[in-house]
């Protein structure tokens, strides 16, 4: 049985990842990480009807708490190995060069960039223990998927704005590339995906894409990923986004 970890699972894309992954034919064990499990009513409701979903309290900016989180995951996993880590937790502010504040930069970097990096590091022993045949993937015995954004592309930045968000996602793209290169020898595959403009609390009601469609598209891209995807950023439709 495969073991999957999703951060930021209480709502939006994270919750949708949990819902779709839990229904895979081989019924993987899905660990849904969120900061406030008691307040995550939609996640609790879904998990109550799924024996293969385990909710774990996890504040991704409490870096000292990672050891306990990993210990909890290992305790509840059937094999101890993690086949798929989805670093989804994130935040977005609509700041500009004239409105950006020091605290907004630091807070956004901690959640969007530092957390995926350090949590991947913390989970490495379990990623290395993964059963190579547990998930039907073409690359690696385990996979780290970072949810990034096209707003992190320097080349495609034609409007500015969203400054702290853009900076944090550009840095996350470098985390993705570096981790992909370093972990190749361990047969761990790392890539990043842009979910699109999605109708979530972050994306707003004007967004043209539902969370269900976005996640379905991203999982399709992931299922078809090959060596050309390693360390790169792709859209949910499979287009490679330039740095």
CB 134 within 8 A of CB 83: yes
Which whole number is the average pLDDT over 177-186? 97
Q: How confident is the model at residue 38 (pLDDT cuts 50, 70, 90)?
A: very high
**Torsion sign, CA atoms 204, 240, 118, 3:** positive
Q: Any idea of the CA torsion for 187, 30, 69, 47, to the nearest 10 degrees? A: 170
Strands of the chain, DSSP E: 3-6, 29-34, 53-57, 84-87, 142-147, 188-194, 233-235
Mean pLDDT check: name the lowest of 3-7, 76-80, 170-174, 223-227: 76-80
User: What pLDDT score does 113 carry?
Assistant: 98
Mean pLDDT check: name the lowest of 31-35, 99-103, 201-205, 228-232: 201-205
User: What pLDDT score does 25 carry?
Assistant: 63
User: What pLDDT score does 241 carry?
Assistant: 98
How far CA 167 is from CA of 2, 86, 174, in Å, comes to 34, 20, 11
> Who contacts 231 (Cβ-Cβ below 8 Å, separation ≥6)?
176, 177, 178, 179, 180, 181, 190, 191
Mean pLDDT check: name the lowest of 16-25, 86-95, 114-123, 155-164: 16-25
**What would the pLDDT profile of 41-77 be if each residue is shown by its tens digit?**
999 999 999 999 999 999 999 999 999 999 999 999 8
How far CA 60 is from CA of 70, 136, 166, 182, 200, in Å, comes to 12, 28, 20, 23, 20
């Amino acid at each position: 049985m495969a073991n999957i970890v999703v951060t930021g699972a209480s709502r939006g894309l994270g919750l949708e990842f949990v819902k779709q992954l839990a229904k895979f034919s081989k019924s993987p064990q899905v660990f849904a990480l969120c900061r406030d499990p008691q307040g995550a009513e939609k996640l609790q409701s879904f998990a109550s009807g799924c024996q293969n979903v385990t909710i774990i309290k996890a504040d991704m900016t409490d870096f000292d708490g990672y050891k306990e989180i990993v210990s909890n995951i290992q305790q509840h996993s059937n094999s101890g190995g993690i086949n798929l880590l989805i670093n989804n937790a994130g935040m977005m502010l609509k700041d500009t060069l004239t409105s950006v504040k020091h605290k907004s930069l630091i807070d956004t970097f901690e959640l969007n960039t530092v957390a995926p990096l350090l949590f991947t590091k913390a989970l490495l022993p379990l990623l290395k223990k993964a059963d190579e045949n547990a998930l039907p993937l073409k690359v690696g015995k385990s996979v780290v998927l970072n949810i990034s954004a096209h707003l992190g592309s320097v080349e495609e930045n034609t409007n500015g704005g969203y400054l702290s968000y853009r900076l944090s996602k550009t840095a996350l793209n470098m985390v993705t590339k570096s981790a992909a290169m370093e972990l190749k020898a361990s047969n761990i595959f790392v890539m990043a995906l842009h979910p699109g403009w999605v109708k979530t609390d972050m994306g707003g009601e004007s967004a043209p894409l539902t969370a269900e469609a976005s996640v379905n598209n991203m999982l399709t891209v992931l299922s078809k990923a090959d060596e050309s995807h390693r360390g790169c950023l792709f859209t949910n439709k499979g287009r490679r986004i330039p740095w």
